[in-house]
Structure 1
Amino acid sequence: MNELAKNKREPLLTEDFFDEEISIGRENLTQNAYYLQHRYSEVVKPEILLFSNFSERYALLSLEYSRGQHIETIRGEFVDLVNSLEHYKHHPAAENFFFNGEQDEYMQAVTLLSVALLLHVEADVFRRLTDVIGAAGQDYVLEWLVSRRLPERPPTTTKLLFPKTYARLRDALQAPPDLQPQLLRSFLAGWYESLNTVWYNIHAHRPDAAGFTGYWCWEAAAAAYCLGLDDTELQTMRYYPKDLADYAFGRKPAPVA
């Protein structure tokens, strides 16, 4: 843990907080697996356990990045995250929660696609993720992210489900190359303040900060990588996941201080 303690990426809260949250998440996954294996449907419905598995793995993705986990380790666990989402979405009682009108759930889809691109996940994993999200025709940003890995699926809409947050990103994606860096910086600069999510400022609003996993604009890094932009200035900005961007661009990580 010493190396991770030196390499904590999220400046808010402590190493101990992230260690405890990660431990709780893994304990919940173990409990869910036990209930599913022994078919304790009288205790918790299977679809609830399957959704819980996805939610725990989704939270762990950000928690581990915030805590300082190695990118290759996070990449290795991403397939399990996709598997858990598939298992839930294939259950007859599953809901299409990504598009329920709430920004929290929509941003889960944005995060999953962005991180998948930055991690260079295998093509079949990315395709499975795209299929299970079901983003076709829903939103320009989601379709643009999909098209970066699956060019046969170009955006079919210019609409945005959450324009207050993503209009500036759409402008950057559609702009001439010489304007893209400036517009992407503008998007990132206003990203956090534009959000209308349950987890906005959650680290300060809850005494125990439960639910806080770190604040990261994964989509800014995915856009910079996919557009091939010089992200030197972005790397100095809050909320930019610079280590994951370095991984995507193939840059060697900076030495641990």
Structure 2
Amino acid sequence: MAERRPRDPDRDPAGSEEELVEKAELVAFLRQRARDEELPWPAPWLRAHAALSVATGSWEQFSVAYSVGEDTDSLREILMDSIEDVVFGWSLAERAFGDAEWAKYEADQRRYPAWYHTRMTRVALAVAFNVEDAAFDRLVHASGDLALADRLVDRLIATRRPERPVSADLLFPSQYAKLDAVFDAAEDERPSALRAYVKSWATGKRAMHWFKGDGSANMGRWAFDAAGAAAALGIDDADVATMPFYPTDLATRQLRGTRPMEDRS
């Protein structure tokens, strides 16, 4: 196995391999548990919550894998697993909750920026990695009410689905207005608009419980949302390539032109 070269300059290379293995093993265990049809659950909604927690874990696995230096092919696999985790969790949730209960749950979750950030960024990277159409549509469905209530998410989806209606509302304007503004900018002004968002990225995320600006391994280290938007819009991101927190190689032309990821349904 080729030695990994951590992308995170503050990461201890000696501990990277162990950390990645531990995270992958934990996610695999939780995934198997959530999908075990024979395992007794006290209530269906508990299994739904367990399955959705796997989606969060696999998303954290993606961030750790990127930080420790996994190649883009491996990252594709982890992202696809994360997409299918959230799709599976959503399918259980739809069956476990009645319409009124689920609407209340979704409304409650939309109050939390970290919940929004994870869902929005997963959509952005699905666009960036050119996820196969059927899988992309399942992810959009599994994004739930968010996909119909937030302008930024709708705009990301519309880069793959031009007929997509776009909401007038932005759920968290204080944190994401600058990224939303990238879509409004003229094509030749988008690189500078992207730079303005990346420059403010860390400041806007420090209030989230998962953000650590000291290089610690967690899902808050990288501005995957900015890279996803750059790839979705075909922006020349050379101006932000060396900025802290920007995952340059997830928005390059090499990534934009790849074949669609396979459908695992």
Query: TM > 0.5 between the two?
Result: yes
Are residues 1:23 and 2:29 paired?
Answer: no
User: What aligned pairs does 1:171-182 form with structure 2 within 5 A after superposition?
Assistant: 171-182=181-192
Equivalent residue in structure 1 for 2:228, among 219, 222, 233? 222
**Residue 12 to residue 78, structure 1, CA distance change in 2 (3 Å):** same
Match of 1:105 in 2: 115
Matches of 1:74 and 1:97, distance apart in 2: 31
What is the match of residue 3 of structure 1?
3
Look up the match of 2:39. Answer: 39
Pairs aligned (count)? 243
Equivalent position amino acid for 2:72 in 1:
I
1:59 aligns with 60
Kindly report which structure 2 residues correspond to 1:86-125, keeping only aligned pairs within 5 A, or say none. 86-91=87-92, 92-93=96-97, 95-96=105-106, 99-125=109-135
Indicate the SS of the match to 1:58: helix
Shift of 1:36: 4.7
Identity of aligned residues (%): 26
Task: State the distance in 1 between where 2:137 and 2:26 align.
Answer: 28
For 2:130, give the aligned amino acid.
H
Q: Which of 10, 13, 18 is the aligned partner of 2:11? A: 13
Q: Would the aligned equivalents of 1:114 and 1:222 in 2 still touch at CA under 8 Å?
A: yes
CA shift for structure 1 position 225: 2.3
Counterpart of 2:255? 248
Q: Structure 2 vs 1, CA of residues 234 and 35 (structure 1 numbering), >3 Å: closer, same or farther?
A: closer
Q: Tell me, yes or no, if the aligned pair for 1:98 and 1:109 is still in contact at 8 Å.
A: no
Q: Structure 2: which 5+ runs fail to align?
A: 259-265
Change (3 A) 1:97 1:80: farther
Segments of structure 1 that go 5 or more residues without pairing to the other structure are 252-257
Q: Distance in 2 between matches of 1:231 and 1:36?
A: 40
Q: How many Å apart are 1:142 and its aligned residue? A: 0.7
Instruction: Tell me which stretches of 4 or more aligned residues in structure 1 moved more than 6 Å.
Output: none
TM-score by length of 2: 0.81
Alignment of 1:200-215 (within 5 A): 200-201=211-212, 212-213=218-219, 215=221
Contact 2:158/2:164 (<8 A) preserved:
yes
Q: Structure 1: how far apart are the matches of 2:211 and 2:220?
A: 10
Measured in 2, the distance between the counterparts of 1:82 and 1:121 equals: 10
Alpha-carbon separation, structure 1, partners of 2:193 and 2:28: 44
